[in-house]
Amino acid sequence: MSIAIKVEKLSKAYQLGEIGTGTISRDLERWFARVRGKEDPFLKIGQTNDRTNKGTSDIVWSLKDIDFEIKQGEAVGVIGRNGAGKSTLLKILSRVTAPTRGRITGKGRIASLLEVGTGFHPELTGKENIYLNGAILGMRKKEIKRKFAEIVEFAGVERYIDTPVKRYSSGMYVRLAFAVAAHLQSEILIVDEVLAVGDAEFQNKCLGKIKDVSEGEGRTVLFVSHNMAAVSRLCTEAILMDKGCLKQIGKPKEIIEVYTSINGNANEVVLPDNPYLQYLSINQVQDELEISCEYSSDITLNIPCLGFVISDSLGNPIFGTNPTYQPPVQKMLPSKKGTIKVRIKQPKLLNGIYGLSVWFGDGKSDFVRLKDVLTFEIINMVLYDKETYAHTSGPVSTIVDWNYNFHL
């Protein structure tokens, strides 16, 4: 099988702050190095792209010494935390921006969908933009015309096809942009997380088309997503990015497991001034969530009781419970301090951001109420078995296990 994309020692550096080096002497030093064919001397002090630390250099390596090969017809998922360098990689592959150093060789025309609006002229109609994009890809007018009806039908924007796209909603924009990128005859299709703008029905439609493009048409696909289920389902290979470096490349299942283990997806809060709860955490491990709290009290609690509610990003409650409603198998004993853990098997949660609210009491009254005390992200949807995911719209049932560790 021939190589569609080959990346060798690819690096991209950005300067933070205002454009320019700040002094004429530094600009001259850079210019003199460039005319001699030498490396920019200030790139030597560049640091990895860790967005959580301020750092000491104003040069950041968004990508650093990336090497990989993608075979023709492969569907490759690119995963990693925000700031890992995924979008920068795709922009360089799409020739939107140039690398600082390194080499890319490819075989075939590239169609990319990186951001809402990429490649469309706002003053042109949807129809005109279809023909413009086809011409940019090197297609003849006859080829574009043959695909035109199929593109419009897939996008579902027939009524607005003769309207300037500047009047489209972001969802309509993405619908048409994806339809153009997927249906015009490019050998390589590059798709960033932009599909998240569309509604759920269209996202599923796009994922199905990506699968057809790769498996049915033998075209190469690069797919950046935080949806681990989609990566697992669609891709034959996966690339894990971390702080601008290529961490690992391999089969999607093993790469997703490495990603989850590295990032942990654990969130915790220490509450030193709280009279009852001192520590609270929530951790995702594959298809389970575990909520843990440490409590202490001056008085003996007859029934140490932790209640919780998990809400979506808009604050809408999804589910919750407490030991008096779902009693633990283990007997609750009176105590002054201890640890309570609740394990939620196969929770009814999709990928996304959620909030955790808790209350703590003695089973009759609440001593502490903490609303949205923690936020957490579901990043690896191993939450449905394949049959359930494929054939039903409802999730599997949630099972809650309680575990108590008492200190009298």
- Asked if 241 and 78 touch (Cβ cutoff 8 Å), the reply is yes
- Cα 314 off chain centre by: 19
Listed range (107-111, 125-129, 399-403) with the worst mean pLDDT: 399-403
- Sign (positive/negative) of CA torsion 333, 335, 339, 342? positive
Torsion of CA 84, 90, 91, 94, to 10 degrees: 170
Residue 201 has pLDDT above 60, yes or no: yes
DSSP string, 82-100: TTSSHHHHHHHHTTSS--S
Residue 339 has, within 13 A of its CA and on its CB side, a CA count of 9
Task: Answer yes or no: is pLDDT of 51 > 50.
Answer: no
Evaluate if residue 199 carries a pLDDT over 50. yes
Q: Is 8 helix (H, G, I), strand (E, B) or coil?
A: strand
Write the pLDDT tens digit of every residue in 176-185. 888 888 888 7
Mean pLDDT to the nearest integer, 152-158: 91
Could you say which DSSP state residue 216 is in?
I
Indicate the range of 63-67, 140-144, 268-272, 381-385 predicted with least confidence: 381-385
**How far apart are the C-alpha atoms of 370 and 308, rounded to whole Å?**
9
What local confidence, expressed as pLDDT, does residue 20 receive?
54
Q: 168 near 204, Cβ under 8 Å?
A: no
Query: Distance (Å, rounded) from C-alpha 212 to C-alpha 223?
Result: 14
DSSP 208: H
Given CATH 2.60.40.180, say whether it is the number of domain 264-407: no
> What residue spans define the domains of the chain?
3-9+67-262, 264-407
What is the average pLDDT across 301-306?
A: 83
Half-sphere CA count of 143, side-chain side, radius 13 A: 14
Q: For the domain made up of 3-9+67-262, give the CATH fold.
A: Rossmann fold (3.40.50)
- In the predicted structure, residue 47 carries a pLDDT above the cut 60: no
Examine the pLDDT at 164 and tell me if it is beyond 90.
Answer: yes
Sequence-distant (≥ 6) Cβ neighbours of residue 16 within 8 angstroms: 58, 59, 60
Distance CA 80, CA 243 (A): 9
When pLDDT is cut at 50, 70 and 90, the band that residue 395 belongs to is: very low
Which position has the higher pLDDT, 214 or 160? Answer: 160
pLDDT class of 226 with cuts at 50, 70, 90 = confident
